[in-house]
Amino acid sequence: MRRRIAMEESQGLILHSGFSDFATSNINGRVTPGGCETSQFQRLGLPAPKKRGHGNRSWIKIDQHGNSKVLELDRVTIMRHCSLPARDLRLLDPLFIYPSTILGRDKAIVVSLEQIRCIITSDEVILMNSLDGCVVQYNAELCKRLRINKDQADDLPFEFKALELALELTCMSLDAQVQDLEMEIYPVLDELASNISTLNLERVRRFKGHLLALTQRVQKVRDEIEHLMDDDSDMAEMYLTEKKERGEAYTLGDMDIQSNNAGEPGVLFRLAPVSPVKSSSGFQKLQRTFSSMSASKHGSENAENIDQLEMLLEAYFVVIDNTLSKLSSLKECIDDTEDFINIKLGDVQNQLIQFELLLTAATFVATIFAVVTGIFGVNFSSSIFDYPSAFTWVLLITGVACGIMYFSFILYIRHKRLFPS
């Protein structure tokens, strides 16, 4: 137990000294939590030990000056450094599929937008390293913007700059995917409308599945931004720089009060000769008074900062809502094409039914004619066979009667409007 406590204290010292002291890298192999290198096991022909519990992951640390470096950090270190619970880090785990989420915590903002998974603090961004294009672009663009605006006055604090870039790249990525889908699906819909085939139907079905999945992703990002805009407390929680400055001001104020109290112990007693219990309660009242004054001083600034973040979120809410409108229009176009195909197939089915009805009527009439001819084909004695032309007249009369019957049947169908005129 003592050894475990000593190890935790050493990890805490490493944590407060910074990520650079904790991060370890080796050219020949990666260091595991047990202190063994995987390359040594490979050289010996043995399987590398499996990481259990909190394994190291590759992260990119970006500071306020635009400097970035790759670090190997475990979950416990990040949790202690950023004061985050374990469930927030699970949102950033690439092994699990979670919807887009933006969480404001006491000392950090947890951002999980598509492929951009990072933790934003008041002075640094801890980005999960990946080969995805959005992650690489986020790293390069954020470093570029921080270096350019390093000497320029900017109203946005550091955490809002990092959050804005994450929202911007996410909205741009989703909009680009929607545009690519539009370019692919519109020609297929036009071809399907002119030529209904199994291949075209299969392609539209596949595109529709892709459309529904993309709509869910865009809808989740839109809902997350809208949720933040509707909750002022969440937006106020995300202003990390102000909370940090306010905490430092409280600390300095408490130190000044304690130093004045220690430097001039007799002043309070000369002004108000009371008992030690009352003097301690008076000191606590003085602290609460200072805290209330500081809170009222920052009240208007807090409201202004909420409005500032709200305008930032509103700008990207309009962008993502426009993207969602494109997807809705595309879905409506697919539905209209499906309705047109159903109408076209229904018309073809009606034509087939009409043809079947005519064929049935013709078959009925031909059957009557065949019955009459069949009767006269039977060998029976009758006086009608004494006249050679009698059978010809029977055939003619039967044929005319069947024709009249067939046309009467067609006129009856037209009268009932079963056929188009």
DSSP reduced 3-state for 24: coil
Looking at residue 374, its pLDDT comes to 81
Is residue 14 scored above 50 in pLDDT? no
Whole-number Å distance between alpha carbons of 265 and 263: 6
Which amino acid, one-letter code, is at 202?
Answer: E
Q: 237: left (phi > 0), else alpha (psi -120 to 50), else beta?
A: alpha
Task: Tell me how far the alpha carbon of residue 44 is from its chain's centroid.
Answer: 45
Of 175, 129, 171, nearest to 23 by C-alpha is 129
Looking at residue 354, its pLDDT comes to 85
> C-alpha distances in angstroms, 340 versus 217, 252, 303, 327, 404?
29, 73, 53, 20, 40
Q: What is the mean pLDDT of the chain?
A: 77
Contact 159, 183 (CB under 8 A): no
In tens, the pLDDT along 199-251 reads: 999 999 999 999 999 999 999 999 999 999 988 888 888 888 888 877 666 66
Is residue 371 scored above 80 in pLDDT? yes
Length reported for the chain = 421
Of 91, 69, 77, nearest to 7 by C-alpha is 77
Whole-number Å distance between alpha carbons of 66 and 124: 9
Contacts of 80 (CB under 8 A, 6+ apart): 11, 12, 15
What is the rounded end-to-end Cα distance, in angstroms, of the chain?
96
Considering only the top CATH level, what class is 2-154? mainly beta
Averaged over 86-97, what is the pLDDT?
Answer: 84
More confident of the two residues 232 and 9: 232
Confidence category of residue 300, pLDDT binned at 50, 70, 90: very low
Task: Tell me how far the alpha carbon of residue 373 is from its chain's centroid.
Answer: 77
**Which two tokens mark 45?**
């022909």
Looking at residue 262, its pLDDT comes to 54
> C-alpha distances in angstroms, 224 versus 103, 219, 302, 307, 407?
10, 9, 22, 18, 70
Confidence category of residue 252, pLDDT binned at 50, 70, 90: low
Whether pTM > 0.75 for this model: the answer is no
DSSP string, 105-162: -SS-EEEEETTEEEEE-SSEEEEEP-SSHHHHHHHHHHHHHHHHTTSS--SS-HHHHH
Averaged over 329-336, what is the pLDDT?
Answer: 93
**Which two tokens mark 139?**
């790293």
Whole-number Å distance between alpha carbons of 287 and 296: 14
Q: Where are the domains of the chain?
A: 2-154, 347-415
Rg over alpha carbons for the chain, rounded to the nearest Å, is: 41
Looking at residue 421, its pLDDT comes to 55
Which amino acid, one-letter code, is at 270?
Answer: R
Share of the chain above pLDDT 70, in %: 70
More confident of the two residues 182 and 4: 182
